[in-house]
Amino acid sequence: MSNKLVAVVGRPNVGKSTFFNQVAGKRISITLDMPGVTRDRIYADVEWCGHAFTMIDTGGIDIKSDDVMWQHIRRQAELAVDIADVILFMVDGKQGILNDDYRIATYLRHTQKPVVLVVNKLDNPGEKPYDFYALGLGDPYGVSAEHAKGIGDVLDAVVEALGTTAAPDAQEEGLKIAVVGKPNAGKSSLVNKLLGVDRTIVSDIAGTTRDSIDSTLKRNGKTYTLIDTAGMRKQKAIGEDVEYYSVMRALASVRRADVVLLVIDAQTEITEQDVKIAGYIHDQGKPSVVVINKWDVIEKDNDTVNRYKKILSNSLKFMDYYRPVFVSALTGQRVDKILGEAEIAYTNACRRVSTGTLNDVIADLIAVNEPPTKNGRRLKIYYTTQTDVCQPTFVMFVNDDQLMHFSYKRYLENGLRKAFDFSGTPIKLVLRKKQEDEI
């Protein structure tokens, strides 16, 4: 990143994510009144009074906890501190200074980086919270993140600590690739392997990733935005508000992505939930790549891949255009093929066919297999035109759309796929009724 970095750190549940969302101007981090909601590092580009920087939200630092998850969260916060130019240390003005605040303050002083001390949850943010001078980090800034009070003074202090940095031009996002799947399918491991760094927490505990996390990757002169998402369990298995919001965020990530990677655990083959997630991707009209992960642990013979492809084809009949890749995020086996497959799927989704060529193909299909009849009336297809890309959409002008049988519509779609390469992307056929004298 060319922007300077500002890390927001502090104990759990002091309001870091609420402050982060207020500054970012949108609800990026999940906020609930319970500790441990934010787990990974979340980034947002910020501009304040002509100065640009990137703010990083982190999970709450629990210095003394031996719990494996809290150790992961603390490590992610420490990584954010390591790469930050300025640290924004947030404490709870209602609770006052706790022992963990002193411990975190000591840790931050040892980094020898500029620290802006923010006292949140104050009823009167304009009043100086003098008690917090005891932390030895200079002037404390009182705020109410929930009510967006006092935030401007904090940002002024951040900009001063960063030095003068002119706002850069908008950074290229490149191809946006969402990585989705069930919990513990290896999505975060896959993202980390592609990035070459531990960008997101990886654990055997299902549900570790809760936010959708954007990471920028540059490869072979191209820019990609990888969106790691929370695992999507069956709705009846979602037991807490945080997980519900996490799944909603994952679904939103599918909608804003250019390409979706559906990660499937090869050890469990393909499940009903995998099919439901694939169905959502298909319904959203997104090009996709089916990534079969953990392939290194599968016992293989000469026909293992073909057998698995048959299972996939049987389960994903509604999206038989899928492009599969068999990988191991752990060993890196064939991971380098994923971006290429995503590029192909996106290129095919952007494919535009000229009206003349399109109608020639449709005419050939009709000559081989005549349209259906109903009650003595035969379907007539006058002409076809492509109206959109990403998802490729074709409008067919017909005499009566009620005469189109679903099997014949499927035949036409398959014919288009054979004539043009639409692998990796769904296509849409729309019927529009026209009278003969209108043509």
| Tens-digit pLDDT profile for residues 388-426 | 999 999 999 999 999 999 999 999 999 999 999 999 999
Q: What is the pLDDT, as a whole number, of residue 41?
A: 54
% of the chain residues with pLDDT over 90: 52
> Are residues 138 and 180 located together in one domain of the fold?
no
170 inside domain: no
Note down the domain range covering 27.
4-162
> Are residues 15 and 141 located together in one domain of the fold?
yes
CA-CA-CA-CA torsion sign (134, 139, 140, 142): positive
- pLDDT tens figures, 107-121: 899 888 999 999 999
Q: What is the CATH number of the domain that holds 400?
A: 3.30.300.20
Q: Measured in Å, how far apart are the chain's first and last C-alpha atoms?
A: 55
> Are residues 325 and 371 located together in one domain of the fold?
no
| Residue 182 near residue 233, CB atoms below 8 Å | yes
> Are residues 55 and 122 located together in one domain of the fold?
yes
168 inside domain: no
Average pLDDT over the chain, rounded to whole? 83
Residue bearing tokens 């509604």: 318
394 inside domain: yes
Query: 199, 326, 348, 327: which is closest to 259 by C-alpha?
Result: 348
Go through 43-73 and write b for each residue having 16 or more CB atoms within 10 A of its CB, e for each that does not: bbebebeebbbbbbbbbbbbeeeeeebbebb
Q: Which two tokens stand for residue 33?
A: 């009144």
What would the DSSP string read from start to end of 269-334?
---HHHHHHHHHHHHTT--EEEEEE-GGGS---TTHHHHHHHHHHHHTGGGTT-EEEE--TTT-TT
**Is the whole-model pTM more than 0.85?**
no
CA-CA-CA-CA torsion sign (125, 128, 129, 134): positive
169 inside domain: no
> Are residues 332 and 363 located together in one domain of the fold?
no
Give the three-state DSSP class for 389: coil
> Are residues 94 and 50 located together in one domain of the fold?
yes
Tell which of 289, 319, 348 closes a domain: 348
> Are residues 247 and 322 located together in one domain of the fold?
yes
> Are residues 309 and 273 located together in one domain of the fold?
yes
263 inside domain: yes
Radius of gyration of the chain (CA): 26
| Residue 211 near residue 231, CB atoms below 8 Å | no
> Are residues 204 and 325 located together in one domain of the fold?
yes
Q: What is the pLDDT, as a whole number, of residue 59?
A: 77
> Are residues 125 and 258 located together in one domain of the fold?
no
Domain count across the chain: 3
Beta strand spans in 85-204 (E): 86-92, 115-120, 140-142, 175-181
> Are residues 20 and 148 located together in one domain of the fold?
yes
> Are residues 128 and 184 located together in one domain of the fold?
no
224/338 Cα distance (integer angstroms): 12
